């Protein structure tokens, strides 16, 4: 069993093609692995024992885990909220539909912070997922379940969603690759809306190749999502040959004190990796960067307050008994939503209210444009920007939950690329003294996913982090 669960998509497909194993057997092995490991890690809200797959697909029976804010036909989709605890959608998200057509089997739905609001999965209404490297620590969030499932060899690949860092941050905490593509690269149809101008489906895997396979399947225009892009989908797995002496990397300047000691030391080593490989490196300053966090919490909360208005106890989900309509709304929403979700709705409603709209929301929108412009300007002279993914390593469960502001700071490095809509990836780097991994981020220009994944592949060929994951979690 230890052999199969550590295989990548290419190897798993070959096993099926050569008929060394039937899709049923292969799927069952992964299901048993989840049964065996997940009572400790808690990656999954829903596990699906019965295999189903499209016979015509190339990836028959290969399991994939889906974050539980992505709609799956006939499979409970809860958003880790009491509101949607029993919601069974009648249709598939476009990304899910495309994965199924390629043969993939949905093996389960993974845990998250309620409606993807958070950085630790502690805001899940059901339970907290554990970091597989250290069960006392958080896996990151909001896509913590998907990141933990991939790290602990429960599944080879998983989908998450990233609004301000929710794929890259848990990928860093769990030591896996996590890609947030360009805004519009993957259809958002069936991704439950948090902040529509920022939300993007992202991909977790233990190597860049597996990410590139999934991206190719799910990327591309979708008539059901007007913000999906018609830019041509590439053969992302047909990597470019990276020539370091012709590749220019900008190193983002930021205040020294924003990194914890362990992350700072590792980051210096990470930069040296590129220097030693003869990449052309130069420091750049993006002065608007530091406003990203503030702008994000105004814009994301404003959009959330509008998007979450649909959960009223009438049309969807939980309905509390009441004598009149006003009480019904009030009781349903106050019972159905958790603390963090309510906090965002209040903040967003305030920012959008008349009298404050210009002062907060409109100003935030202007600063957002400035941040996007400033990042874009860097790409006139550089191929990539490198920077940390998170200011610190995975923190202890409970450590930050009473201090939302400190939790928000986890997103300092991931938010600006989201505000600008740029593609960005977490590269796992090393396991630090505390016993958990640290990862760093690379950003590329719009729709440069192929270039970004090619660089990630160059990196993985040298760093071989996947071997570390396999050695650690094989048994």
Shortest approach of ligand GLN to residue 162 CB, angstroms? 5
Q: 173 or 279, CB closer to ligand GLN?
A: 173
Phi, psi of 127 (to 5 degrees): -165, 165
Please identify which of the residues 81, 142, 260, 302 carries the catalytic annotation.
142
Site for ligand GLN in 285-304 (CB under 6 A): 300
Query: Between residues 13 and 142, which has the closer beta carbon with respect to ligand GLN?
Result: 142
Nearer to ligand GLN, 161 or 212 (CB): 161
Measure the CA–CA gap between 228 and 224, rounded to whole angstroms.
8
Minimum CB–partner distance for residue 163 and ligand GLN (Å): 3
| Residues 364-403, mask of contacts with ligand GLN (x by CB under 6 A) | ----------------------------------------
Q: Which is nearer to ligand GLN, 201 or 455 (CB)?
A: 201
Interaction of residue 166 with ligand GLN, rule CB under 6 A: yes
The nearest distance, CB 464 to ligand GLN, in angstroms, is 29
Residue showing the smallest CB distance to ligand GLN in the complex: 166
CA distance 70 to 460: 29
Given the residues 105, 143, 161, 166, select the one marked as catalytic.
166
CB of 78 to ligand GLN, least distance (A): 16
Cα 197 → chain centroid = 16
Size of interface with ligand GLN, in residues (CB under 6 A): 13
Residues 6+ apart with CB under 8 A from 402: none
The residue from 145, 164, 313, 423 that contacts ligand GLN (CB under 6 A) is 164
Nearer to ligand GLN, 122 or 460 (CB): 122
Residues 76-135 that bind ligand GLN (CB under 6 A): 116-119
Clarify whether 406 is annotated catalytic: no
Question: Per rule CB under 6 A, is residue 210 in the interface with ligand GLN?
Answer: no
CB of 416 to ligand GLN, least distance (A): 13
Q: Of 105 and 414, which has the nearer Cβ to ligand GLN?
A: 414
Q: Is 142 a catalytic residue?
A: yes
To the nearest whole angstrom, how small is the minimum distance from the Cβ of residue 442 to ligand GLN?
Answer: 18
Compute the 3-state secondary structure of the chain and give helix, strand, coil in percent, each to the nearest 5: 45, 15, 40
- Given the residues 60, 67, 109, 450, the one annotated as active site: 67
From the list 11-19, 162-170, 215-223, 251-259, the region that binds ligand GLN by CB under 6 A is 162-170
Q: Which of 72, 94, 142, 212 binds ligand GLN (CB under 6 A)?
A: 142
Strands 424-431 vs 384-388: parallel, antiparallel or unpaired:
unpaired
Q: Which is nearer to ligand GLN, 5 or 293 (CB)?
A: 293
Instruction: Select 164 or 338, whichever has its Cβ closest to ligand GLN.
Output: 164
* Alpha-carbon distance values, 377 to 12, 180, 348 (Å): 42, 20, 30
Pairwise CA distance, residues 425 & 454, whole Å = 11
Among 165, 184, 317, 420, binds ligand GLN (CB under 6 A): 165
Q: Is 166 labeled as catalytic in the residue annotation?
A: yes
Site for ligand GLN in 342-371 (CB under 6 A): none
CA–CA separation, 46 vs 110, rounded Å? 7
Q: Pick out residues in 401-430 that bind ligand GLN (CB under 6 A).
A: 411
CB of 112 to ligand GLN, least distance (A): 8
Find the shortest distance in angstroms from Cβ 408 to ligand GLN. Answer: 7
First to last CA, the chain: 9
**Where does this chain touch ligand GLN (CB under 6 A) — which range of 156-164, 214-222, 324-332, 467-475?**
156-164
Which residues, 6+ apart, have CB-to-CB distance to 131 below 8 Å?
A: 137, 138, 139, 140, 148, 173, 174, 394, 436
Nearer to ligand GLN, 94 or 119 (CB): 119
Among all residues, which ones are annotated catalytic? 67, 142, 166
Binding site for ligand GLN (CB under 6 A): 116-119, 142, 162-166, 194, 300, 411
């Amino acid at each position: 069993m230890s052999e199969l669960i550590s295989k990548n998509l290419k190897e798993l497909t070959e096993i099926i093609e050569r008929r060394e194993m039937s899709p049923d057997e292969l799927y069952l092995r992964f299901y048993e692995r989840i049964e065996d490991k997940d009572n400790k890690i808690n990656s999954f809200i829903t596990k699906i024992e019965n295999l189903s797959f499209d016979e015509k697909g190339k990836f028959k029976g290969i399991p994939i885990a889906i974050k539980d804010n992505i709609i799956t036909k006939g499979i409970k989709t809860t958003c880790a909220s009491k509101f949607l605890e029993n919601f069974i959608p009648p249709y598939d998200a476009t990304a899910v539909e495309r994965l199924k057509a390629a043969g993939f089997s949905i093996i389960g739905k993974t845990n998250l912070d309620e409606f993807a609001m958070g950085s630790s999965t502690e805001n899940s209404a059901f339970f907290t997922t554990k970091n597989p490297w250290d069960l006392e620590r958080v896996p990151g969030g909001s896509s913590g379940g998907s990141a933990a499932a991939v790290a602990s060899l429960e599944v080879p690949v998983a989908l998450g969603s990233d609004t301000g860092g929710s794929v890259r941050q848990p990928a860093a905490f769990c030591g896996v690759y996590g890609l947030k593509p360009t805004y519009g690269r993957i259809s958002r149809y069936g991704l439950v809306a948090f902040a529509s101008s920022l939300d993007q489906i992202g991909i977790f895997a233990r190597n860049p190749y597996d990410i590139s396979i999934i991206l190719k399947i799910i990327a591309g225009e979708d008539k059901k999502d007007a913000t999906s892009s018609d830019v041509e989908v590439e053969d992302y797995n047909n990597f470019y040959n990276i020539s370091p002496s012709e590749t220019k990397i900008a190193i983002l300047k930021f205040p020294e004190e924003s990194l914890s000691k362990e992350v700072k030391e590792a980051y210096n080593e990470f930069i040296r990796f590129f220097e030693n490989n003869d990449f052309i490196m130069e420091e750049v300053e993006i002065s608007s960067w530091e406003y990203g966090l503030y702008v994000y919490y105004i814009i994301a909360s404003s959009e959330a307050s509008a998007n979450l208005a649909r959960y009223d106890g009438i049309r969807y989900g939980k309905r509390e008994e009441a004598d009149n309509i006003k009480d019904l709304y009030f009781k349903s929403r106050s019972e159905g939503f958790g603390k963090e979700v309510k906090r965002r709705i209040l903040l967003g409603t305030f920012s959008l209210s008349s009298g404050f709209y210009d002062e907060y929301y409109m100003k935030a929108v202007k600063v957002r444009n400035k941040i996007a412009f400033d990042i874009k300007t860097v790409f006139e002279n550089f191929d990539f920007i490198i920077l940390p993914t998170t200011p610190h390593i995975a923190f202890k469960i409970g450590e930050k939950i009473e201090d939302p502001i400190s939790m928000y700071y986890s997103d300092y490095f991931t938010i600006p690329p989201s505000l600008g809509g740029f593609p960005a990836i977490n590269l796992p780097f090393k396991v630090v003294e505390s016993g958990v991994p640290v990862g760093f981020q690379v950003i590329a220009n719009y729709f440069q996913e192929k270039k970004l994944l090619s660089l990630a592949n160059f990196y993985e060929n040298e760093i071989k982090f996947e071997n570390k994951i396999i050695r650690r979690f094989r048994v």
